[in-house]
């Protein structure tokens, strides 16, 4: 367990094992705890770094809404790699964490050796579709403000197992980090030059088409569908998930 101070915002992170670095980012409303079932498998031949995004878990919850953004998250990820002495890493995550991993590769391709994109969408080219996503994100923020952390109980497994200090950080993260503003991540998919695993739970219906799209657009991407798994494929079927990831890393010589 360690803490990194990023311009006055403290970020909680953990480092497990030795070897090439894997940086895993959690989904929205989750925490680094969602990767507990992956620590043993992924830290055998790698140095696994997991962390809590700002406004989540054991990291800080800045009062300024402007402190929550895609740009701030990508800077946090770069600072974490610096903190563990990694010039490059295998970068991945689930849902929002996967989207931020794609965004990180777009902005910092020189720091990415491979990508693990899990139950994730790449954003929207269509303005109307993006606006629909953003309306849902803003409605989520409003529900957290009304209901507090009680609404976590109705979420998917990675959300239900998470612990947060308050709902205010999650509401601000929904407004600043979950909302999207352009199609840049989606448009950059064909330019990805590193080995990429696109993994999705077979029952994660909202993300099946997005996974197909990413696997088709990212050159050489490997797609894996985990049976009997929903949005948190790593929690629903940890053994199958770990086999898929470790098999991909071995085949790609990562």
Percent of the chain scored above 70 by pLDDT? 100
1, pLDDT greater than 80: no
The number of folded domains in the chain is 1
Q: Kindly indicate the confidence band of residue 186, based on its pLDDT and cuts at 50, 70 and 90.
A: very high
Instruction: Give the pTM.
Output: 0.96
Q: What average pLDDT does the segment 201-211 reach?
A: 97
The tens digit of pLDDT for each residue in 213-233 reads 999 999 999 999 999 999 999
> DSSP per residue over 67-78, as a string?
G-SHHHHHHHHH
Which residues constitute the domain of residue 93? Answer: 2-251
Euclidean distance between CA atoms 10 and 158, whole angstroms: 22
Burial of 21-48, coded b for 16+ CB within 10 Å and e otherwise, reads bbbbbbbbbbbbbbbebbbebbbeebbb
pLDDT in tens, 166-180: 999 999 999 999 999
CATH number of residue 188's parent domain: 3.40.50.1820
* Strand, coil or helix: 191: helix
Task: Give pLDDT tens digits for 71-110.
Answer: 999 999 999 999 999 999 999 999 999 999 999 999 999 9
3-state helix, strand, coil in the chain (%, to 5): 50, 20, 35
pLDDT at site 58: 98
Q: Is-contact 219 199, C-beta < 8 A?
A: no
Asked whether 116 and 91 are in contact (CB, 8 A), the reply is: yes
- Summarize the confidence of residues 13-20 as an average pLDDT: 98
Model pLDDT for residues 96-145, shown as the tens digit of each residue: 999 999 999 999 999 999 999 999 999 999 999 999 999 999 999 999 99
């Amino acid at each position: 367990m360690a803490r990194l101070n990023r311009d006055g915002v403290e970020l909680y992170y953990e480092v497990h094992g030795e070897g090439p670095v894997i940086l895993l980012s959690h989904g929205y409303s989750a925490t680094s705890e969602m990767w507990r079932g992956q620590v043993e498998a992924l830290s055998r031949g790698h140095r696994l770094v997991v962390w809590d995004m700002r406004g989540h878990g054991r990291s800080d919850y800045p009062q300024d809404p402007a402190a929550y953004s895609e740009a701030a998250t990508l800077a946090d990820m770069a600072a974490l790699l610096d903190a563990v002495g990694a010039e490059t890493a295998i970068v991945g995550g689930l849902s929002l964490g996967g989207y931020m991993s794609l965004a990180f590769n777009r902005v910092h391709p020189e720091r990415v050796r491979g990508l693990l994109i899990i139950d994730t969408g790449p954003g929207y080219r269509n303005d109307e579709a993006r606006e629909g996503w953003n309306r849902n994100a803003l409605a989520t923020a409003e529900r957290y403000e009304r209901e507090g952390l009680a609404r976590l109980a109705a979420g998917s497994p990675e959300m239900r197992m998470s612990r947060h200090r308050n709902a205010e950080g999650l509401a601000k993260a929904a407004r600043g980090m979950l909302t999207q503003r352009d199609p840049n991540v989606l448009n950059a998919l064909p330019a990805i030059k590193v080995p990429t695993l696109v993994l999705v739970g077979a029952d994660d219906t909202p993300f099946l088409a997005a996974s197909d799209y990413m696997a088709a657009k990212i050159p050489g991407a490997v797609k894996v569908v985990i049976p009997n798994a929903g949005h948190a494929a790593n929690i629903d079927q940890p053994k199958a998930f770990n086999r898929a990831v470790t098999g991909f890393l071995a085949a790609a010589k990562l």
